[in-house]
A and B are shown apart, each in its own frame.
Chain A
Amino acid sequence: MARLLAAFLMVLGVAAAAPLLAQEEQSTAPYAYRQLDDPAKEEKAQALMESLRCLQCQGQSIADSDAPIAGSMRSLVRERIEAGEDPEAIRSWLIERYGDYVSYAPRITGLTWPLFAVPVALLLLAFLLLRRRFGGNPEQGGGA
């Protein structure tokens, strides 16, 4: 029990020491933690931020992440939306720099088209096979 307590205290100690090690400043970017005044624009920005990956904590979107770089990215998104830029243009700007990885919205490219084509092809194949097995009268079934 005493050991368990000691371990627990150690964990607490480490947790308390961690902020001392990480002194990264939150960015001075204005819109990291501030919403846009126009609710319609903020909604647009929010939708885009939810589909962009935080580059540091890579399982999270920049809308969810508290990492400073995510704050910088949120501010980038909000400032550009405020300036009237199209959300997809902002996404492309980021993809130009970080590759497809930064976006959670899949794109159809030379590499990814089979992901979209295969399900359609399988459904079509299943439909044809099932029609041959169960479809209509024998003459039709033989012909298919």
Chain B
Amino acid sequence: MTETNAAKPRRWVIWLPLVLFLGFVVLVMFGLFRPADRNVASQLVGKPMPQFSLPPALPGRPGLDSKLLTNGKPHLVNIFASWCVPCRVEAPQLEALAKAGVPIEGISVRDTTEALQGFLEENGDPYQRIGADDDGQVQLALGSSGVPETYVIDGKGKIVYQHIGEIRPEQLGLIMNKLQEASE
């Protein structure tokens, strides 16, 4: 007697596990088919640039020391390589930024002098200095997971923004805005 009384109002309860299960399936499907973001962002954005000192990548040109990034002016630090195809795509945009007076410092990753010279002859050379990160250790210290990547550094050496992938023409405004923020 008591059993039937107790069971009646709770009939919907027997559907609860099924509903929970279906909810779970929907959640899994959502996660499975949502386009994944494969970019690994550096966790150092908002933090000071790690200290490093890189030898020159080209003979007769200066290397790159992180102390130079604390001279009170915002900088772009562009991580690139001659073997990187998207780096060719962003070369005109870097050229335009350099023409606009933005100091661009380069870090060439796992590259050779000859290949780098060929790349710069072909695509232009917007860099003030290029440090050679041949063993890739500075790239790791910066939390960079690929090339090209561009860091906006404020005058005190703090990383304000990390741009993953090539700078496309329509993103020039974005980079200029970040530089503006960095100089404030």
A21 within 8 A of B: yes
Contact A76 to B140, CB < 8 A, known contacts A55-B146, A69-B146: yes
Could you tell me the distance between the alpha carbons of A25 and B18 in the complex, rounded to whole angstroms? Answer: 55
Q: Which of B4-12, B23-31, B64-72, B110-118 lies at the binding interface? A: B110-118
Taken residue by residue from 33 to 75, chain A's Cβ proximity to chain B (1 for < 8 Å, 0 otherwise) reads as 0000000000000000000000110100000000011011101
Using CB atoms, name the residue of chain B closest to A32: B135
Tally chain A residues at the interface, Cβ within 8 Å. Answer: 28
Neighbouring A residues of B146 by C-beta, 8 Å? 55-56, 69
The one of A21, A68, A97 in contact with B42, judged by C-beta atoms closer than 8 angstroms, is A97
A27 with B141: CB separation less than 8 A: no
Asked if B78 is an interface residue, CB under 8 A from chain A, the answer is no
A69 — nearest CB in chain B belongs to which residue? B136
Contact flags (1/0) for A10-35 with B, using CB distance below 8 Å?
A: 00000000000111111111100000
With a cutoff of 8 Å between Cβ atoms, the chain A residues found around residue B145 in the complex are 55-56, 69, 98
Write the nearest CB–CB distance from B176 to chain A, whole angstroms: 27
Tell me the dominant secondary structure on chain B's binding face.
loop
User: How many of B's residues come within 8 Å of A, CB to CB?
Assistant: 26
Assess the A72–B83 pair: CB atoms within 8 A.
Answer: no
- Whether A98 contacts B143 by the Cβ 8 Å rule is yes
**From residue A48, how far is it (CB to closest CB) to chain B in Å?**
14
Q: How far is the CA of A23 from the CA of B115 in the complex (A)?
A: 9
User: Which of A22, A73, A97 lies at the interface centre, i.e. has the most chain B CB atoms within 10 A of its CB?
Assistant: A97
Q: How far is the CA of A130 from the CA of B164 in the complex (A)?
A: 54
Contact between A97 and B143, CB atoms less than 8 A apart: yes
- The answer to whether B137 touches A72 (Cβ under 8 A) is yes
Q: Which residue of B lies closest to A28 (CB)?
A: B134
**Residues of chain A at the chain B interface (Cβ within 8 Å):** 21-30, 55-56, 58, 68-69, 71-73, 75-76, 94-99, 101-102
Chain B interface (Cβ < 8 Å from any Cβ of A):
38, 40-44, 81-85, 110-112, 115, 134-137, 139-143, 145-146
12 A-B residue contacts at CB 8 Å? A23-B82, A25-B83, A25-B110, A25-B112, A25-B115, A25-B134, A29-B137, A94-B140, A96-B44, A97-B43, A97-B141, A98-B40
